[in-house]
Structure 1
């Protein structure tokens, strides 16, 4: 009951606080709430969470230190390391729709079991990226804007495209 109430307050009030260069304290309020009340991350004054960040039901999400999560990010379940930058409109998915049986409408087949992605330390995820269930993104990687990540990403890789492919290695 407590978890539902605190998530309700987050979705009704906290996540909709306005953002601007002149109201930077609203991000600090969101970080405080997500760390101290929802307990999804350690409290860190360097972290930022912008408005309209969707945190599913708050179960199965872990966010590290010094993370920057921009507006309109959608996180179902995931482990996010330290020093991670997430640009606006990113979707981090842990489930998908079942669709194997052609005799049953897809809408009636249900969802797959959760398979949360893992995002290592020091990763930059560009605008409008989609990370599919079960994906592991290696340390120091960069995912270019608009990419759809369908396969694991090696450490220190630069990936882009649909589906995401290796552009080059950072080392």
Structure 2
């Protein structure tokens, strides 16, 4: 049944026009995500744009007042409240095993369900990649194009490949 719900998501909901063409499309997406896929509590303030790829709905939860832009790829994650995710972001929860050099990597299998945790009030910039198992702390900013390989402490701005600390956010910023 869960597979059928995801198939219907891709046939109907995935391709609805962007909310830029009318609030009704976002409302339909949020309703489907909240009541059918059950990955978010219904919140009229959430924005879930078109063409968001959901790999595994059972490993995904989305908080309130979040904005997930178009062409975001989500394998699984815990996403807090007030989170902004720019277009083309990839959030991954699995990786390939590669520790045996005498066996082809493709034959070694996968490590799955390493869901990233994205805490409240996080902004993830365009084309960023969040690798499996990382935690992005409250109030953090991930710069465009960054590859997050390690945990990010709260109120930290990171960027680059791999992502490195650029600045700590404070209340005295102007």
| TM-score interval, normalised by the smaller of the two chains | over 0.9
SS at match of 1:16: coil
Matched residues in 2 for 1:144 and 1:23: separation?
A: 29
Equivalent pair of 2:13/2:29 in contact (CA under 8 Å): yes
**Structure 1 runs (4+) greater than 2 angstroms displaced:** 20-24
Displacement of 1:104: 1.7
Q: Distance in 2 between matches of 1:133 and 1:20?
A: 29
CA separation in 2, counterparts of 1:20 and 1:127?
A: 18
Deviations 1:126-168 (A, max 9, x none): 0001001110000000000000000100000000000000000
1:11, distance to aligned residue in structure 2 (A): 1.1
Deviation per CA, 1:33-66, whole angstroms, max 9, x where unpaired? 0001111001011101111111112111110000
Structure 1 match to 2:26: 27
Q: Distance in 1 between matches of 2:116 and 2:149?
A: 11
Q: Structure 1 pair 32/20, CA: closer, same or farther in 2 (3 Å)?
A: closer
Inter-CA distance 155–68: structure 2 relative to 1 (3 Å threshold): same
Q: Give distance in 1, aligned partners of 2:98 and 2:50.
A: 33
Residues in 2 aligned to 1:14 and 1:134: alpha-carbon distance in whole angstroms = 28
Q: Which runs of 5+ in 2 are unaligned?
A: none
C-alpha separation in 2, matches of 1:113 and 1:145: 26
How many equivalent residue pairs? 170
1:66-145 alignment runs, 5 A limit: 66-145=65-144
- Mapped contact 2:19–2:26 kept (Cα < 8 A): no
CA 1:22–1:11 in structure 2 vs 1: closer, same or farther (change >3 Å)?
Answer: closer
- Please say if residues 123 and 140 of structure 2, whose CA atoms lie closer than 8 Å, have aligned partners that are also in contact: yes
What secondary structure, in the 3-state scheme, does the structure 2 residue paired with 1:102 have?
A: coil
